[in-house]
Amino acid sequence: MSRMVKIATTSLLIDDKSKTFGVDIDRAAELAEAAGKENADIVVLPELFDVYSIGRHDWLTHSGEIIPGDGRLQTRFAAIAKKYNMYVVINILEINGEKLHNTAVLFNRDGSYNGKYRKTHLAPGEEDYITASNEYPVFETDFGKVAMTICMDIHFPELFRILALQGADIILHPTMWLDYTGAYCDVCACARAIDNGIYMVTSHYVNVPFLAGRAMGHAVVIDPMGRVLADTGHRPGITTATVDLDESYEFWAGGGTELKKRYPTLKDCYFKIRKPETYGILTRPDEENDWKIENPTLYQP
């Protein structure tokens, strides 16, 4: 069999104009339209492009929507999904009564609402205004199962394993990363892809020219072997990769052997060798801090 899908990801320009509300939203819409014109099956946009460049105290003045609903952002990007017969993932602020969530939304090809994921692992300080979730949904599409994670989630491999165990073929990861080393973020994303036998898709912001410590762009599509198939580089725009979700990455045992029958693919190998009954420490609250360095060497200005 073959499940071919054309995946698009985006790198959104951030500059002085971005401090004016609506500029980044327009740019995100332009990127989504560009992906549609490339006949992409699915496109993902960066984290919180509705409010990224304005101060947090102004967020709810300008943005925040009940999801699902008929808010202006959902209406606009649902229309793009329908126009190009393309799945669209946006990541915006969600209003939930008195709570505020950092939420990724998936629209179907016809513009209808498919589902949402609320960010689980909040960045330091984010918990002061965002409410975390504890649900890990996977969503059906006409080419396979997709899941969404957001930014800080990348550092918690348990989440990605849970999504993979639920059958996710592709995990879409909108983010607002900064990368000081040039490899830090890519290594994390490649590791999540390899360990779980899934495609990873990240979407970022970019400053031009890129310098260390600034928004890096470099949005990528990564295959289950950890190979980067498409990359926006340190520039704004889109990139696409066409992949076969049924392509198998075989376990290295010789063909026809009993071992090969037991572990035909690397995913079979990794998942069947798991020992979840021994992982109890992962579910214990971190109270004893056995891992903590007592006297870390820190720079003290």
pLDDT value at residue 201: 98
Task: List per-block mean pLDDT (blocks of 10 residues) for the chain, which spans 301 residues.
Answer: 91 94 96 98 97 81 92 98 98 96 98 98 93 97 98 97 98 89 84 97 93 87 96 96 92 81 91 95 82 85 75
Chain center to CA of 112:
21
Residue type, 258: E
pLDDT value at residue 253: 76
Residue 131: which residues within 8 A CB-CB, separation 6 or more?
96, 99, 100, 101, 118
| CA angle, residues 157, 192, 227, in degrees to nearest 5 | 170
pLDDT value at residue 143: 97
Cα separation, 70 vs 82, whole angstroms: 15
Q: Where are the alpha helices (DSSP H) in the chain?
A: 23-37, 59-62, 72-84, 157-165, 184-196, 258-262, 266-273
Q: What is the pTM of this model?
A: 0.95
pLDDT value at residue 155: 95
Residue 226 gets the label, from left (phi > 0), alpha (psi -120 to 50) or beta, of left
pLDDT value at residue 181: 65
